[in-house]
Amino acid sequence: MDKAKHLPSLGIISKFIPLIWPKGNYKIKFHVIMAIILVMVTIGLNISVPLIFREIITNLSVKSFDTERTIISLIICYGLLWSFSQFTQKFREMVLFGPINNVITRYSLKVFNHLHLLNLHFHLDKETGKITSAINKAQLAIAMAISNILFRMLPVIIEIVLSFGILWYLYDISYGLILLGVLALFFFYNLHITKLFVGIQQKASDADISANSRIVDSILNSETVKYYNTQKTEYKKAEKLLLLSSKANIKSFGTIVTLVAIQTLIIGSGLAILSYKAGAEILVGTMKVGDFVLINGYLLQLFHPLQNLSDVSRDTFEQLSKIEYSARLLENSNIIHNTKGAPDIKVNHAHIVFNKVDFSYAQNLKIIKEVSFDITPGTMTAIVGPSGSGKSTISKLLLRYCDINKGSIKIDGQDIKEVTQESVRQVIGVVPQDVILFNNTLRFNLTYGN
C-alpha cells in the first residue's frame, strides 16, 4: 500500500467533496446554500469597505461644515459594514459546521464499509495501526480541507479578481499592469514551491503514519513481543521511525519558512512600487488623498489575503496528504463481486462438494491443489493436517472470502460463485477464534450470531 502511486489532489478531493451535497438530505443542502450566500455577502462587504473609507478621507480633507452629516453617516456605515463582514465570516462557519461533520461521518462509514468488502488477500496483509491512524487523521483533515477551500481559498480568489478590476477601472491602466505583474510573479513562485512542498509533505505524512502504525501494532501484539523478549528491538524500531518522521517534518517546516520569506519580499516590493506611484500623483495634484487611501487599502486587502492564500494552499495540501492513505484504500478494488442477477442460495440438505479446487494467496504459492471431497448431509467431517496446510483456508473458501483459482465449490448442487455471497454466509454457522466482538451480553451475542 505504501508503494502505491500517490493520488493527485483532485483525486483525493473527489472522494469526499460530493458527500457535502447528500442525496435526499434537504436540511444539509439548505445549510450549504446558506453558507455560500454568506460567503458572497462577506466578499461584497469586504470590497465595499475601502470605497467607503476613501469617501470618508476625501470629505475630511475638504474641511467644510456642509460635509459634517455626510462624514458621520459614512463613518457609521463604515463601522457597520466592517462589523457585519466579521459577523458573516463567523456565522458562515457555524452554518456549515453540520454539513462538514456529516461529510466526516459519511466518509468514515464509506471507508469502513469498503474495508469490509475487500477480500481476504487484503485483510491477511492488514496493518491495523496504519489503517486506524489514517482514518483518524482523515477525519480532522477533511474538516480543515473543506473549511480552507470554501471559506479561505475561493473567497480570496474572488476578492483578488474584483479588487483588481476596481483598481483598473478607477485609475490608470498602469496600476493594473503593475498589480498584474506582482500577482503573476507571486503565483509563479508559489506554484513552483508548492509542488516541492507537496512532495516533502507527502513523505512527512507517510513517515508519520508508518511510525504511528508500528507503535499501535507493537502494542496490540505485546504478548508476541514478550514471547520473544524483543521489547528493546521494538523500542529501537519505534525510535528509528519517529526520528525519520521528525526529520521529514523539520524539512517541511524549513520549506515553509523559505517560501514565506520570499513571498513577503515579492508582496512588499509590489506594495512599495504602487504606493510610491500613488504618492507621486498626489504631489502633482492628479490624485486625492482619499484615492491614495483606497489604493493602499485595496493593496493591503489583496496582499494580506494573498499571503494567507499561500499559507492556506499549503495547509490544504498538507490536509489532503493526511487524507490520501484512506483515499487510496477506497481505490483498492480487490472486492468479491456477486454475479449480476445472482439469486440467493437455497439450502435443503446442505450437501457440500469441493471438486478439484486450486487456490493460492499469492502467485506461485499454492495453498490448496486439486482438492476434492464430498460432505453428505447428516455427517461430520474433520480436516486435519500440519500448520499452514490449508485447513482454515478451506472454511474461508466455503464462505467465499476469496475466489478459487480453479475447480468448483457447490452446496446442494449450487456453485457458490453463482449465488449471492451474503446468502451463503447467512446459512453457515461458524465459531470464530477471535472473540473480541463478542465481549457483550448473551442476548447481543445470540442476536449477532443469528
Q: What is the 3-state secondary structure (H, E, C) of 200-215?
A: HHHHHHHHHHHHHHHH
The grid coordinates listed for 270 are 509590489
pLDDT of residue 364: 65
pLDDT of residue 410: 94
Q: Give the separation between CA 67 and CA 49, rounded to whole angstroms.
A: 20
Cα of first residue to Cα of last residue in the chain, in angstroms, is 35
Report whether 338 contacts 403 (CB < 8 A): no
Q: Give the separation between CA 321 and CA 200, rounded to whole angstroms.
A: 10
Among candidate residues 50, 323, 284, the one with its CA nearest the CA of residue 167: 50
Q: In the sheet where 365-375 sits, what is the strand order?
A: 365-375, 352-362, 406-411, 414-415
- Other beta carbons within 10 angstroms of residue 136's beta carbon come to 14
Q: Considering the entire predicted model, what is its pTM? A: 0.67
pLDDT of residue 1: 47
Among 1.10.8.60, 3.40.50.300, 1.20.1560.10, 1.10.4160.10, name the CATH number for the domain at 9-331. 1.20.1560.10
Q: Give the separation between CA 269 and CA 354, rounded to whole angstroms.
A: 78
Q: Give the separation between CA 82 and CA 86, rounded to whole angstroms.
A: 6
Q: What residues pair up with 358 in beta bridges, in sequence order? A: 406
> What is the SS3 assignment for 243?
helix
> Which residues, in sequence order, are CB contacts of 346 under 8 Å at separation 6+?
412, 414
Query: For residue 168, what are the CA distances in angstroms to 174, 178, 295, 297?
Result: 8, 10, 11, 15
Per-residue pLDDT of the chain (450 residues; tens, 9 = 90+): 444 567 888 888 888 888 888 888 888 889 989 988 998 998 888 888 888 887 787 777 766 556 677 778 888 888 888 888 888 888 888 888 889 999 999 999 999 888 888 877 777 666 676 788 788 888 889 988 888 888 888 887 887 778 777 777 877 777 777 877 887 888 788 777 777 777 777 777 778 878 887 888 888 788 888 877 888 888 888 888 888 888 888 887 887 787 778 878 887 888 888 888 888 888 888 888 878 887 777 777 676 667 677 778 778 888 888 898 888 888 887 788 888 889 999 999 889 999 999 988 766 677 888 899 999 998 988 888 888 778 888 988 998 988 888 999 999 999 999 999 989 988 888 877 777 777 778 888 777 766
Report whether 124 contacts 392 (CB < 8 A): no
pLDDT of residue 344: 93
145-184 pLDDT per residue, tens: 888 888 888 887 887 778 777 777 877 777 777 877 887 8
Among candidate residues 111, 113, 112, 116, the one with its CA nearest the CA of residue 425: 116
Q: Could you tell me where the DSSP H helices lie in 221-367?
A: 222-227, 231-283, 289-331
Where in the chain are the domains?
A: 9-331, 352-449
In terms of phi and psi (left: phi > 0; alpha: psi -120 to 50; beta: otherwise), the region of 390 is left
> What is the SS3 assignment for 169?
helix
pLDDT of residue 373: 92
Among 1.20.1290.10, 3.30.465.10, 3.40.50.2000, 3.40.50.300, name the CATH number for the domain at 352-449. 3.40.50.300
- Other beta carbons within 10 angstroms of residue 74's beta carbon come to 20
